[in-house]
Structure 1
Amino acid sequence: MPTSRRPIVLSRYLALAWCGLVVYGSLHPFSGWRDTGASPIAFLEGGWPRYWTVFDLVSNVVVYLPLGFFLVLAMHRLPGRFTALVLAVLLGGGLSFGMETVQTWLPSRVPSNLDLVCNTLGTLLGALWGHVVGPRIFARLSELEHRLIAQVPHAELGLTLLGLWLLVQLSPETLLFGTGDLRQLLGLPGAVPFAAESFVLIEAAITAFNAVAVGLIVRLLCAQLAAAYLVVPIFFLAALAVSAIAAAILVNPAEAFAWLTPGARLGLIVGGVALLPAMALPALARTMIACLALVMGLVLVNLAPHNPYSLAALAVWRQGHFLNFNGLTRLVSTLWPFLTLPFLLLTLRRT
């Protein structure tokens, strides 16, 4: 793929991913659908909402801001100076209108013309931001990808998946680096009873396997081995920082490092030691190891018993405004390995 095309393709992946996140957050929890007999566009004629907060207004603007930004970058090559800007605002506003309309059938959601205005405003601000800084962003991205990003198939998809993996770390409910837990989604009980000694080992194995898989994906996308030995630790430090900040904000500042359990610490050490030689292996071997590590982590996270101590700590968590956000991160965590494994298999086939 030509160098000048890759940033545009990446922005399309990001716009599509963000659109999916917005749809999920707007319609969560996808239950209790009913027909009230009201027109789905009746909210357009409604007055000022009776119940609203500044947090709601700001969050409605902020959530759609990245969508407008990514859409403008994705349509950067369209003819006309303001074509991408206008289309981005129309698409963002159309998506918001569709979500507000569908919310008519959800008892837990209240469609609002004020939400529509805030969402469209957020799209407009993001689109203006992308329109102003877009050319400089493309020039910078083209320079960075030429030096840092390997010429592997679907590298843009890999970068998007890594961004989603960082989003998973915002959930205080998941084990460190643990993804793919289907039990809550399918309503399945724990496979084995909890025992402190075995749980430490299981947690360590989950952390280690996922660290190896994710680290090798980062290595796969790095053009230079020397750069990978710098980028991979920085990426994991960023993930740990996200976990700490999320725990401090969503749960309690005193619980900022509650996720750094003995099992997690052991898993980080084992995973780091295993990554050092694995990153220097040939591309085919690295991709196969990443696939195996991802599958092993997926199996273990579905076999791991529920930790009663973590459940007790989370019982005091009042999700409030973050209820939909928490459902979103949980869904991304569940689906992530099932989205990543096909990417690795495609890369393995080309390798």
Structure 2
Amino acid sequence: MARHASNLPLKLTLVYAALVIYACLHPFTGWQASGLPMFDYLLAPWPRYYRSEDLVLNVAGYLPLGFLGAAALFPRLGGPGSILAATLGAGILSLSLETAQNFLPSRVASNLDLGCNLLGALAGALAGAVWGPALFDPQGGLQRWRSRHIIGGHTGELGLLLVGLWLLTQLSADGLLFGSGDLRHWLALPSPVAFAPERFIRLEAAHVATTVLGVGLFARCIMRAAGLWSIPLLFILAFALTTLATFSFYSPDMPLAWLTPGARLGLLVGLPLLAACLLLPRVLQHALAGMAMLAATALVNLMPENPYLPFRTSAAAAGHFLNFHGLTAVTAAAWPYLALAYLSALGLWRGEHLAAERRL
């Protein structure tokens, strides 16, 4: 258990760093030399025009990286060493990405962004050195909770990571509620179904209901025993993150704009259905989780574009949106396929262990 506990923050650091790299270099097209010196931006004066939201997000984006990095390095380097190494590592990553943005016409390399990233990494590293050991230590609160409620080893850690990535997808509240797995944009495919209000409401309700069922049962599959508050808390966090994203990026006057008629109907059907399925035997829950995820993924790829969503057009004008949307869009597109692969592997793993127990 100690080895797993010490590896968890390192795994989270690597995953988060990969997401930051994708976000900063998204959409990975149009690479060309600008003709300017590569590091000229480092000596640029304070920009005449900037958004305070950009500064806040550049700081906030590197807070988790500094926190996780310091927590991962603390057992080896101690407090001051882990703070210095995590901040330096995040700074090198930010410098590399800002420099690479010189070659992307849709991006602008900025020393102000670099400074904000460093500030966020330093603040996160300070917090990680103080609170990280208590969270990730084998005897810490997080590990005690994990050992009581989540299946053991790397399998449980991967399941928790997938749940965390699903929560991250809720910050891309520019479409359907829980709308992950849509590959049409990535494959340049048109919507196969024409928009009609009544049809859209029915499809959205079915999608939300099957997603609630699939995600809720997925969370149950990685748990040792059903907790009274664990799964409700997961959805409360998801609703809070969706509301926060809607308020911050799209529609400050209507933070609950995501709660459309179809979403309301889907929640009214999906939540009681999930509660009933949590009473079923474990093997049936596992099978239903996969079936519900497959249905939700099929539905999200059939859904027509809704031209009446109030936050469709406002997000594109925000300067900070490109990075953030790049971070969440790829996660949302890939998540159900990763989750289905995990469920398949988990089913095989459990089947082998059950067979071994019967032989004994």
TM above 0.5, yes or no, is yes
1:75-103 CA-to-partner distances (Å, cap 9, x unmatched) read 33325554433331222111111101111
1:149-160 equivalence runs, <5 A:
149-151=150-152, 153-160=154-161
> Which one-letter code corresponds to 1:94 in the other structure?
I
* 1:344 alignment counterpart: 343
* 2:148 alignment counterpart: 147
* 1:331 alignment counterpart: 330
Counterparts in 2 of 1:344 and 1:76: CA distance versus 1, 3 Å: farther
* 1:92 alignment counterpart: 90
Work out the CA distance in 2 between the residues paired with 1:119 and 1:316: 26
| Alpha-carbon shift at residue 204 of structure 1 (Å) | 1.3
Work out the CA distance in 2 between the residues paired with 1:285 and 1:47: 62
Give yes or no for contact 2:191–2:305 (8 Å, CA) kept in 1. Answer: yes
1:155-234 equivalence runs, <5 A:
155-225=156-226, 227=227, 229-234=228-233
| 1:70 matches 2:71 | no
Secondary structure of 2:275's partner? helix
Give yes or no for contact 2:68–2:132 (8 Å, CA) kept in 1. Answer: no
Work out the CA distance in 1 between the residues paired with 2:57 and 2:315: 20
Unaligned runs of 5+ in 1: none
Secondary structure of 1:75's partner? helix
Counterparts in 2 of 1:316 and 1:26: CA distance versus 1, 3 Å: closer
Work out the CA distance in 1 between the residues paired with 2:237 and 2:135: 22
Number of residue-to-residue matches in the alignment: 346
Give yes or no for contact 1:10–1:160 (8 Å, CA) kept in 2. Answer: no
| Alpha-carbon shift at residue 50 of structure 1 (Å) | 4.7
| Alpha-carbon shift at residue 191 of structure 1 (Å) | 0.5
Give yes or no for contact 1:10–1:157 (8 Å, CA) kept in 2. Answer: no
RMSD: 2.3
> Which one-letter code corresponds to 2:289 in the other structure?
A
Give yes or no for contact 2:174–2:311 (8 Å, CA) kept in 1. Answer: no
* 1:125 alignment counterpart: 123
Work out the CA distance in 1 between the residues paired with 2:314 and 2:80: 49
> Which one-letter code corresponds to 1:21 in the other structure?
L
1:168-208 CA-to-partner distances (Å, cap 9, x unmatched) read 22223221112111112222111011222322221111111
Give yes or no for contact 2:200–2:303 (8 Å, CA) kept in 1. Answer: yes
Work out the CA distance in 1 between the residues paired with 2:251 and 2:98: 33
Secondary structure of 2:74's partner? coil
Work out the CA distance in 2 between the residues paired with 1:266 and 1:176: 12
* 1:302 alignment counterpart: 301
Work out the CA distance in 1 between the residues paired with 2:229 and 2:116: 41
Work out the CA distance in 1 between the residues paired with 2:251 and 2:50: 25
| 1:19 matches 2:20 | no
| Alpha-carbon shift at residue 105 of structure 1 (Å) | 0.4
1:240-251 equivalence runs, <5 A:
240-251=239-250
Secondary structure of 1:255's partner? coil
Q: Percent identity?
A: 42
Counterparts in 2 of 1:151 and 1:85: CA distance versus 1, 3 Å: same
Secondary structure of 1:87's partner? helix
1:196-239 CA-to-partner distances (Å, cap 9, x unmatched) read 232222111111111111101221233322x1x42112211221
Counterparts in 2 of 1:198 and 1:5: CA distance versus 1, 3 Å: same
- Of 293-302 and 189-198, the range deviating more from structure 2: 189-198
Counterparts in 2 of 1:67 and 1:185: CA distance versus 1, 3 Å: same
| Alpha-carbon shift at residue 42 of structure 1 (Å) | 3.1
| Alpha-carbon shift at residue 66 of structure 1 (Å) | 1.1
Work out the CA distance in 2 between the residues paired with 1:5 and 1:91: 23
Work out the CA distance in 2 between the residues paired with 1:332 and 1:180: 9
Counterparts in 2 of 1:189 and 1:274: CA distance versus 1, 3 Å: same
* 2:112 alignment counterpart: 114
Work out the CA distance in 1 between the residues paired with 2:77 and 2:33: 44
Work out the CA distance in 1 between the residues paired with 2:122 and 2:110: 19
> Which one-letter code corresponds to 1:287 in the other structure?
H
Give yes or no for contact 2:175–2:312 (8 Å, CA) kept in 1. Answer: no
> Which one-letter code corresponds to 2:200 in the other structure?
F
Give yes or no for contact 1:192–1:305 (8 Å, CA) kept in 2. Answer: yes
Counterparts in 2 of 1:81 and 1:239: CA distance versus 1, 3 Å: closer
